[in-house]
Structure 1
Amino acid sequence: MGKGNSFATFLIIGPTCFFLGILFSSFPYDYNVLWTAPVDREYYFKILEDHIKFLHASPPIISRILHIAIFTGLLGFITKLYKPSEANMLFDGASLVLYMVAVTVYLTNIVKGFRVVTAGIYGATDIPLAEGEENDYVSREDTLRVFAASNTILALVLVGVLTLQAGQWYALRKEEAEIEGFAKEEEAKRKAGKKNK
């Protein structure tokens, strides 16, 4: 693996670990909403709701840093896939697909969740429905559960990106070791041939 390729890998792994850290810090809020059934469930919904509102109201520099990190990861993929080898196509191609799934979940569920929760526009509304039309609004609890589940999905997808990058590193190291072994065997055969002459 060349120096340029190693730097591109760093550009992918750095932002991915950064996002996993953000998701880990949100895990205490998500855990009680998704996986436990505490007696006072409303208390945990309120905590998550306040947390989301607080994050959405954070200064613009916070979202800009996050978006810079997202584009840094994409830059790493573009760099690695500029002149791809077979290993790059397999591992980096699959990693890029997972990374784009994460970006899509972020844009569709997380960003939308921030806006919906901050505005408080969930649940049944007073808008009259036409005959035969169903109320397709999502309740407050379901909105918060979807938000928490989206964080979990993001974490799993990003762990997949790291796993593929680690798999690529291992495969390349194994290939280099095999090539080095073949070279040593060839050198030994050549030396043995010279001695026989």
Structure 2
Amino acid sequence: MYYTIEGKRVLGILYIAGLITGTLFFNITMKMQIFKLSDFLDFTEYMKMLENIDLSTFCSYVFFVRFRQLILFFIGLFLFSPYIVFCLLDYITSIFIGILLSVMVLKYGWTGMIGGVCFLFPQYVFYGMIFIIIYIYLFRNAVIGNFYMAISRGRHGNSQTLLKDRIIITLLIIGLFFVGCYLEAYISPLILKKIFSIFP
């Protein structure tokens, strides 16, 4: 069911559920005074850090963090059911997005939604494309969702064609990863500075 309409519908439902969960978590903890707004405002420190930071150093930091996350993702695919990994990643990511957008709206009003979105774009478009490519490749080549079967499937088809496919997929992932890191390190800070300069 992984690459069927039902499978993709589950991912969509989980994403919406994660946004709702993140929003509810933020609002409930704020009303119960478990957390204060300042506890969620790490992005203000992030903005201060961007003021005078050396962008090449920041790029190295971004590359290290994102590469580590990508490695952990692949380890998860080997150790657990890939569909479960995608579902968890989908749900957890949307929870954090829900919290981020809720914080921005509470601090800056509904215009803060723009700032929240700018934390995610444009780099997450390319990061997201990586996971979409892996999802399509994985569940197209192994209906049962076994990652090992998907990458060792040469016995069931033309090995030369499969090798070419793997090379193309690998180059795509590497290219998208580097573009995403570059945008996050060099372009996103410029966008965020301009966006937050218009907020009170």
Q: Which TM-score bucket, shorter chain as reference?
A: 0.3 to 0.5
TM-score for the superposition, normalised by structure 2: 0.41
TM-score for the superposition, normalised by structure 1: 0.42
Q: Answer with 1 or 2: which has the greater Rg.
A: 1
